[in-house]
Amino acid sequence: MSSARRRPLAAASLAAVMTLGLAGCGTGFGAQTNQQYQPGVGANVRGDVDSMNTLLVANPDGSATLSAALQNNLDEDQDLSSVSVTTLDDKELQVTAPDEQLPLKPGYLTTLGGDDPAGVYVVDKDVPSGIYVKITLSFSDSSPVTIEAPVVDRTTEYASVVEGPDETPAEKESTSKSTSDEDSTEPTSTEPTPTEDTATEGAE
């Protein structure tokens, strides 16, 4: 077969390869990197400061404690200066904030809702588990970020999250142990005890 007769076949093969390549663009590497991936229950937002696994943990008194891991991606120290929370229809919720601002060192993860009193923010009421709220984090040296985050039940998974700004480590440990005991409680036996008539009948 001459080279002239082989050219149409080569052109057709090239066209087929290009068609397949274009069809695969929607599921290629670019599509994956453009998708937001959230493996945990909480919400994530990335920027000058990353806020990861952001959520509110419901407390027995109807309040809820903010829990998140913040990472400062800037080269300089900055602070978490304030937190505001609203419902999804923009009704403002009252937040009890710490007396001092939480420092955020470059490259380090800083936890909200843990042992450091400067990182404890509590929404006072109207935050039942199962709803979503809008949380706005404001910083000293970067733009604020707003993220929609869930309110979750206080289970053993969130036992390390304090219930309020005045909770001591001993109280938190007691709460954690109490929650763990409740989760591990086994049902008691419901087997009936022999009645007097049954015992007498067995003796005969």
How many residues are there in the chain?
Answer: 204
Distance from the Cα of residue 65 to its chain's centroid: 12
Q: In this predicted model, what pLDDT tens digit does every residue of 60-99 receive, in sequence order?
A: 999 999 999 999 999 999 999 999 999 999 999 999 999 9
Identify whether the C-beta of residue 58 lies closer than 8 Å to the C-beta of residue 155.
Answer: no
d(CA 52, CA 81): 18
Q: Which of 123-127, 162-166, 168-172 has the lowest mean pLDDT?
A: 168-172
% the chain with pLDDT above 90: 58
pLDDT reading at 52 higher than 80: yes
Identify whether the C-beta of residue 185 lies closer than 8 Å to the C-beta of residue 178.
Answer: no
Structure tokens of 36? Answer: 């937001």
Q: pLDDT band at residue 165, thresholds of 50, 70 and 90?
A: confident
Q: pLDDT band at residue 146, thresholds of 50, 70 and 90?
A: very high
What kind and span of H or E run contains 197?
helix 196-203
What is the per-residue pLDDT for 41? 83
